[in-house]
């Protein structure tokens, strides 16, 4: 059994309504296609600021795949206050990890939706998957 880690989605723009995220590590909105047939076993959401004026208090990411039951899974995350103030930014303290056990396949894309609460300003969100094959 092999293991690989990949970026499922990313976003660099504040979103105050559910919005499709950028696919993988690209700058284009879209679905993520797993590289191999196997299982998604962990989802990690990384939340960091892009500038001193960045702000992102909290939010959630939805992963959607038509064969999962349920087909939409919500991952809530905590964020950070104004980036100029001392806080947890700079380490893994803003990583939100969730163990899952979801079947994946290259022909079954995963869609992602992002929502950020409380007037976000230039946060960077990355959704990382740990997969087995």
Q: How confident is the model at residue 18 (pLDDT cuts 50, 70, 90)?
A: very high
- For 24: left if phi > 0, alpha if psi spans -120 to 50, otherwise beta; the answer is left
What span, in angstroms and rounded, lies between the C-alpha atoms of 32 and 40?
A: 12
pLDDT for 91 equals: 47
pLDDT for 15 equals: 84
What span, in angstroms and rounded, lies between the C-alpha atoms of 77 and 95?
A: 8
Contact yes or no for 53/117 (Cβ under 8 A): no
Percent of residues, the chain, with pLDDT higher than 90 = 65
pLDDT for 11 equals: 94
How high is the mean pLDDT of the chain? 90
CATH of 3-132, one of 1.10.150, 3.40.50, 2.160.20, 2.60.120: 2.60.120
Task: Give me the mean pLDDT over the 112-125 stretch.
Answer: 88
pLDDT at position 47 over 60: yes
Q: Which residues contact 60 (CB under 8 A, 6 or more apart)?
A: 74, 75, 76, 77, 114, 115
Per-residue pLDDT tens for 64-117? 999 999 999 999 998 887 777 655 555 446 789 999 999 999 999 999 999 988
Return the domain boundaries, the chain: 3-132
pTM: 0.89
């Amino acid at each position: 059994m092999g293991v690989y880690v990949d970026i499922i989605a990313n976003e660099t723009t504040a979103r105050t309504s559910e919005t499709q995220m950028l696919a993988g590590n690209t700058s284009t909105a879209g679905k993520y296609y797993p590289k191999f047939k196997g299982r998604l076993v962990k989802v990690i959401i990384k939340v960091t600021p892009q500038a001193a004026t960045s702000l992102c208090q909290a939010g959630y990411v939805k992963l959607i795949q038509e064969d999962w039951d349920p087909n939409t899974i919500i991952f809530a995350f905590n964020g950070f206050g104004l980036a100029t103030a001392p806080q947890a930014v700079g380490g893994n303290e803003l990583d939100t990890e969730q163990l899952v056990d979801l079947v994946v396949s290259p022909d079954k894309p995963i869609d992602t939706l992002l929502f950020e609460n409380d007037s976000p300003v230039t946060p960077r969100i990355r959704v990382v998957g740990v997969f087995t094959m």
